[in-house]
Amino acid sequence: MESAPEGIVDLPPIGPEPILRLATLVCQTEVMHAALELGVFGSLAEGSLTEPELRERLGLHERFSKDFLDALAGLGLLIRVGDRYRNAPVAGHYLVPGQGVYLGDYPRMVTASFQQAWGQLSRGLRTGKVETQPRGGFVAKSHEDQARFTVYAGVMDHLSTRVARDFAERFDWSGYKDVGDLGGARGHLAAALLEAHPHLSGYCFEPPSAERYLKGHMAELGMAGRVGFVGGDLFTDPIPEADVLVYGQVLHGWEDEERRTLVRRAHEALRPGGMLLVYDRMIDEERRDQQRLLYSLYMRLVSPMGSEYRAVDCERWLREAGFPDVRSEPLLNTHTVVVGLKSREEEQEGAEARVPAAGGGGGGPPPPPPVLMPSLSPGSRSFPRCPGCLRGAGHCLPPSRGRPVRGPGRPRSAAEASSGTARRRGP
């Protein structure tokens, strides 16, 4: 007996488009790489061109050029008006050589790293083992390769500029005299903070191999001698005392026990009343932000102990280390900063053996706590009223008004500091 023909299979109730988009993401990356290699964005730096003009200038084949340029427009890197193409603002700011902040070398470098790392994911999921980098991670290893480090540091400098300008406005720095950037690459974050608040001094703590990069970079910025360099190991070498210490994208290179150690060491190095700032691409409490989860996976693939972590966990490490006041806040729409305030009354054991602050400073009365702007973000944790208000200094309006007074020299509010209209502000 012959079986009846099956006919056309019934379609599922949803289409496969999300899967197809994921499968073709690499195409977008390759289009951008080709545009950088061929010099598309530089050719459009002076103004718009037609497809034939671009084809002639760049030596493109007519079989590919039209689709290629329209694909760049579809990706948001070019803008097409009629038959003319021009750079989109993001490409004009970041992908034109010699103009603005050039990040065009970074996609090639990071793609090579991604290909090596993500190709090991299935093996890592099965065995827990992948080929990672030695202790110190990407930055320390790249100190040996000047070209590689310069590309990486350029991108990190841009991030550091944005972070520093945020911090410069978010906190009142008038009561502090120095800042230490722990794991600060070539010192750009400290330099940007010192530029915003000239009364500050600062230092950068990195492996000794980074010193030449910091000195060269400070000379380029016209800040030679302003930012000191401290070479050493954050786990074993003394951390110079300071009023403010920063861990920027450092804790994600380690596991929880090492993170607790780093936080504890920072607490010990801070003067009474000092402030610790920790920022990373921290995972949201419900673990639903795909970009941060993907970055956490990437850290597991490239470092022997690294991953991202939740802000609530970081807050707990700070409290365990002895910080009585801790809070977390969104940063740049991509990161989270956890802030810890050290008690002013705390007696510091072994203070007589403390390392003098790098580049000057040290001694003097403890600084007052910073004035932290009230958080306006949903679900964030608020500090108590700032100490200045409790002293009757009038730093804040009554609680019913809920917004800080911005007199001369006062920082912007958290809402202003996080809005796109309040600042010039990328990766």
H, E, C per residue of the chain: CCCCCCCCCCCCCCCCHHHHHHHCHHHHHHHHHHHHHHCHHHHCCCCCEEHHHHHHHHCCCHHHHHHHHHHHHHCCCEEEECCEEEECHHHHHHCCCCCCCCCCCHHHHHHHHHHHHHCCHHHHHHHCCCCCCCCCHHHHHHCCCHHHHHHHHHHHHHHHHHHHHHHHHHECCCCCCEEEEECCCCCHHHHHHHHHCCCCEEEEEECHHHHHHHHHHHHHHCCCCCEEEEECCCCCCCCCCEEEEEEECCHHHCCHHHHHHHHHHHHHHEEEEEEEEEEECCECCCCCCHHHHHHHHHHHHHCCCCCCCEHHHHHHHHHHHCCCEEEEEEECCCEEEEEEECCCCCCCCCHHHCCCCCCCCCCCCCCCCCCECCCCCCCCCCCCCCHHHHCCCCCECCCCCCCECCCCCCCCCHHHHHCCCCCCCCC
Query: Which tokens go with 361?
Result: 């400073």
Closest CA to 223 of 249, 189, 248: 189
Residue 426: CB partners within 8 Å, gap ≥ 6?
Answer: 94, 101, 103, 158, 159, 162
Q: Is 174 left (phi over 0), alpha (psi -120 to 50) or beta?
A: alpha
Determine whether 252 is an active site residue. yes
* CA distance linking residue 394 with residue 175, whole number of Å: 16
Per the residue annotation, which of 158, 188, 252, 267 is the catalytic one?
252
* CA distance linking residue 314 with residue 275, whole number of Å: 15
Cβ atoms of residues 220 and 195 within 8 Å: no
Active-site amino acid positions? 252
